[in-house]
Amino acid sequence: MDGQQPRAVPPQNRPPPATGDFSAIFTVFFAFLVIVSMSVTFIICLLYASQVNIIEIIIPFSSTINNNLSILHQVPEGHVGVYWRGGALLKTITYPGFHLKLPLITQYEPVQVTLQTDQVTEIPCGTKGGVMITFAKIEVVNRLRKEYVYDTLRDYGVHYDKTWIYDKIHHEINQFCSSHSLQQVYIGVFDQIDEKMKDALQVDCTRYAPGIEIISVRVTKPTIPETIRRNFQQMEEERTKVLIAVERQKVVEKEAETNKKMAISEAEKNANVSKILMEQMLREKESAMRQEEIDNQMYLARQKSQADADFYRLVKEAEANKLKLTPQFLELRFIEAIADNTKIFFGDKVPNMIFDQRLLGNFLKEASRNISREVSDA
């Protein structure tokens, strides 16, 4: 049996060809595409995570093609992911992190929802007087609110800021310049342009695109023709000189006013010192006068008391003398006076002399005066 040749199978007995060959080939090809897309997505994620900007060198595809082919994609921090399927914007919004999508069918785009600064450059405009000037750069700090991402992108697309910031800035700047002169735009009201632009942008955004929030606007100094710039520079120099002169005059006036205030203060101080010294002298004089009045009152009281005492003593002595002037006492005093005389007269007329009434009265008066004098001296 080993040497027997195999018998050919009659054509009518051969098995029919397999009908699943085409589906198997399609499955293998689809798996290959999936593996390739996943590999590309993985490489893109690695490059993005390492912040190496060489994706255009390694993979010769644009970001749109990569987003279309990738299954796994990453939404960076500060962004949200939005998706289109067949050109229609989906309501699905994803947040930072890794997410999956259908390759070739669903397109993905990250949209920033944190603060971002849009720079609008080289903005020409004509002033009220017909002078052409150019704003080199205007920066608009804005933010797209998360809850309005779908509505904003549905109405204005991913590049919504071109409509409401870039183009709008051009329009508002030209409107502003056309209603102001060059001197106002360049100097007079230049400090107000920031707020006016911010308010103008925010008003229209609030009305038509409420998801866009204008935080601030920074406007750089416009570029003007050189001849006009030199004239403005000369004007500014002259204005500076005038301001310096005015300030110098203010300084001189301030110094004069300060000297005047110092002189007034010194005079007031001297006047206050003199007033205080005068009041002190007056108080001293008043105190001395009161002291003198008290001394006078004390002296007057002493003299009055002394006079009253002398008067009382004299009255009492008079009363005592009056009580002493009795006939017996007078006779005693008369006899004592005669006894003190060293001369004694004898004769017939002695009794007449002695008992002469006039001589006796004089004698008694003299004796009374002597007695009073002795009482006084005592």
**With bands split at pLDDT 50, 70 and 90, how would you rate the model's confidence at 231?**
confident
| CA neighbor of 104 nearest in space, from 27, 30, 156, 22 | 30
Is residue 264 situated within a structural domain?
Answer: yes
Q: List the domain range (segments joined by +) for residue 270.
A: 227-303
Structural domain tally of the chain?
3
Range picked from 133-142, 301-310, 338-347, 350-359 for highest mean pLDDT: 133-142
Angle value at C-alpha 223, between 179 and 177, nearest 5 degrees? 10
Task: Assess whether 185 and 212 both reside in one domain.
Answer: yes
Residue 145 has pLDDT above 60, yes or no: yes
Is residue 137 situated within a structural domain?
Answer: yes
Is residue 331 situated within a structural domain?
Answer: no
Listed residues 58, 79, 112: the one ending a domain: 112
Question: Average of pLDDT values for 94-121?
Answer: 91
Task: Assess whether 104 and 123 both reside in one domain.
Answer: no
Q: What is the reported pLDDT for 123?
A: 93
Is residue 289 situated within a structural domain?
Answer: yes
Can you spell out the DSSP letters for 220-258? PPPB--HHHHHHHHHHHHHHHHHHHHHHHHHHHHHHHHH
Task: Assess whether 102 and 88 both reside in one domain.
Answer: yes
Lowest-confidence range among 1-10, 244-253, 361-370?
A: 1-10
With a CB cutoff of 8 Å and minimum separation 6, the contacts of 155 are 209
pLDDT (tens digit per residue) in 314-339: 888 888 777 777 777 777 777 777 66
What are the φ/ψ torsions at residue 104 (nearest 5 degrees)? Answer: 65, -15
HSE, CB side, 13 Å, CA atoms: give it for residue 244.
6
Is residue 9 situated within a structural domain?
Answer: no
With a CB cutoff of 8 Å and minimum separation 6, the contacts of 44 are 55, 59, 66, 70
Task: Assess whether 235 and 204 both reside in one domain.
Answer: no
Is residue 354 situated within a structural domain?
Answer: no
pLDDT (tens digit per residue) in 122-141: 999 999 888 899 999 999 99
Percent of the chain with pLDDT over 70: 72
Task: Assess whether 130 and 211 both reside in one domain.
Answer: yes
Task: Assess whether 175 and 249 both reside in one domain.
Answer: no
Task: Assess whether 96 and 181 both reside in one domain.
Answer: no
Q: What is the reported pLDDT for 9?
A: 39
Lowest-confidence range among 19-33, 70-84, 204-218?
A: 19-33
Distance CA 254, CA 114 (A): 53
Question: Average of pLDDT values for 97-107?
Answer: 88
Q: What is the reported pLDDT for 326?
A: 74
CATH code, domain with 121: 3.30.479.30
Task: Assess whether 200 and 270 both reside in one domain.
Answer: no
Distance CA 282, CA 90 (A): 103
Is this prediction's pTM over 0.75? no
Task: Assess whether 146 and 181 both reside in one domain.
Answer: yes
Listed residues 273, 303, 333: the one ending a domain: 303
Q: What is the reported pLDDT for 137?
A: 93
The rounded mean pLDDT for the chain is: 79
Percent of the chain with pLDDT over 90: 34
Task: Assess whether 165 and 193 both reside in one domain.
Answer: yes
Q: What is the reported pLDDT for 323?
A: 76
Is residue 37 situated within a structural domain?
Answer: no
Is residue 296 situated within a structural domain?
Answer: yes
pLDDT (tens digit per residue) in 10-50: 434 444 444 444 555 666 566 666 676 666 666 665 554 44
Residue 150 has pLDDT above 90, yes or no: yes
Alpha-carbon distance values, 52 to 44, 136, 304 (Å): 10, 32, 126
Residue 53 has pLDDT above 50, yes or no: no
Task: Assess whether 87 and 132 both reside in one domain.
Answer: no
Task: Assess whether 120 and 218 both reside in one domain.
Answer: yes
Between 334 and 343, residue with greater pLDDT: 334
Contact between 123 and 197 (Cβ < 8 Å) = no
Residue 254 has pLDDT above 60, yes or no: yes
Residue 149 has pLDDT above 90, yes or no: yes
| One-letter amino acid of 41 | T
Residue 61 has pLDDT above 50, yes or no: no
Listed residues 224, 250, 283: the one ending a domain: 224
